[in-house]
Amino acid sequence: MKGSDIKVEKLKLTKAWDKTFPKSDKVKHSKVLFVNRYGITLAADLYIPKDAKGKLPAIAVSGPFGAVKEQCSGLYAQTLAERGFLTIAFDPSFTGESGGQLRRMASPDINTEDFLAAVDYLSTRKDVDPVRIGIIGICGWAGMAINAAALDPRIKATVTSTMYNMSRVNANGYFDSADNEQARHDTKVALAAQRTKDYTQGYYEQAGGVVDPLPEDAPQFVKDYYAYYKMPRGYHERSGNSTDGWTKIGCQSFINQPILAYSKEIRSAVLMIHGSEAHSLYFSKDAYRDMTEGSEFAANKELLIIEGANHCDLYDGGEHNYIPFDKIESFFKENLK
């Protein structure tokens, strides 16, 4: 019995090269569209090695949380295309050039689905080997990548970079400083009041991107975010982190939807990368522990800590080219055979 048709929405896509990184002369670049199972059309940058022949291994990249494909994910995708992979960097639902209303909302379900939809798209391309598909999630999208890998066996290898567990940080606060029932209740009360206010006034309020101007006493990790998102190094006009951020209620559902619940059941290979100086390192350390302890599938899991790197250094390499692209390349070549 036939169900709903898969329809690609016509989206307004920028034709000019407007990335935060230089365009490579080693790859062919174009923009593509694909649809997730909620009917949301996603926009992606496609990168193909210029000397490509036959069916290629493919990688889908997304993140960080609040970023767009013209920033970090595009850099990862283009660099890996230079190394022989067909890659896409996509804007998640409700963000960037992708579809979905309302804007700047986040969802643990829909954003995990975005990765699965990317696999749908890649697996049906004639120039992709459908049994050699991997994914990369950066920052908040690293957690969604792990959730996707736990859900979809078509994903043969997963890399996470400078991971955030968005369920944990929304439920418990930074560094688990609000990990108690009363604090969570207070958060829920505030979000409920905001929802009523938004509906009454007829529009959703934005929470704001990275704080600007930057307070002198801001924590170092906030200064690191500012140095990337608010400065020419990483600023982009479509990035929520660079501009007006998520809606105030945009992350509400993460509070009681733990996205890493079944990570121990991931059979495919996972490489988790994090900086030794990153405030967020505890997310990767704990996720790796939970993924491997007592698991019969632990042998192909690895946690790689990059000495000296902070959270944002793994966005674009920082001042010392911290992103271990050689390691990422060898990991995918080994596991996308």
Q: What is the pLDDT of residues 193-230, one digit of tens each?
A: 999 999 999 999 999 999 999 999 999 999 999 999 99
* pLDDT computed for residue 312 by the predictor: 98
CB 260 within 8 A of CB 142: no
- How far apart are the C-alpha atoms of 100 and 278, rounded to whole Å? 32
CATH number of the domain residue 281 falls in: 3.40.50.1820
Return the C-alpha torsion angle 112, 324, 75, 55, nearest 10.
-70
- How far apart are the C-alpha atoms of 6 and 226, rounded to whole Å? 40
Tokens 């992606």 map to which residue?
44
The answer to whether residue 188 is domain-embedded is: no
- How far apart are the C-alpha atoms of 175 and 49, rounded to whole Å? 41
CB 114 within 8 A of CB 42: yes
The answer to whether residue 92 is domain-embedded is: yes
- How far apart are the C-alpha atoms of 72 and 129, rounded to whole Å? 25
% the chain with pLDDT above 90: 100
The answer to whether residue 292 is domain-embedded is: yes
Query: Tokens for 138?
Result: 């950066």
Q: Total structural domains in the chain?
A: 1
The answer to whether residue 4 is domain-embedded is: no
Say whether the peptide bond before residue 281 is cis (omega within 30 degrees of 0). no
The answer to whether residue 193 is domain-embedded is: no
The answer to whether residue 120 is domain-embedded is: yes
Model pLDDT for residues 40-78, shown as the tens digit of each residue: 999 999 999 999 999 999 999 999 999 999 999 999 999
* pLDDT computed for residue 263 by the predictor: 98
What is the sign, positive or negative, of the torsion defined by CA atoms of 290, 293, 298, 301? positive
In this prediction, residues 140-168 reach a mean pLDDT of 98
Model pLDDT for residues 306-330, shown as the tens digit of each residue: 999 999 999 999 999 999 999 999 9
Three-class SS of residue 154?
A: coil
- How far apart are the C-alpha atoms of 248 and 99, rounded to whole Å? 20
The answer to whether residue 239 is domain-embedded is: no
Q: Please state whether beta strands 27-35 and 41-49 pair in parallel, antiparallel, or not at all (unpaired).
A: antiparallel
In this prediction, residues 140-152 reach a mean pLDDT of 98
Three-class SS of residue 40?
A: coil
The answer to whether residue 22 is domain-embedded is: no
Three-class SS of residue 297?
A: coil
* pLDDT computed for residue 183 by the predictor: 98
* pLDDT computed for residue 241 by the predictor: 98
**SS3 breakdown of the chain: % helix, strand, coil, rounded to 5?**
35, 20, 45
The domain of 72 spans 27-165+259-335
Model pLDDT for residues 276-308, shown as the tens digit of each residue: 999 999 999 999 999 999 999 999 999 999 999
pLDDT band per the 50, 70, 90 thresholds, residue 20: very high
* pLDDT computed for residue 147 by the predictor: 98
E strands in the chain: 27-35, 41-49, 56-62, 86-90, 128-138, 155-161, 269-275, 301-306
Q: Other CB atoms closer than 10 Å to residue 115's CB: what's the count? A: 29
* pLDDT computed for residue 230 by the predictor: 98
- How far apart are the C-alpha atoms of 65 and 71, rounded to whole Å? 11
Helix (H) or strand (E) holding 314: helix 313-316
Average pLDDT, the chain: 98
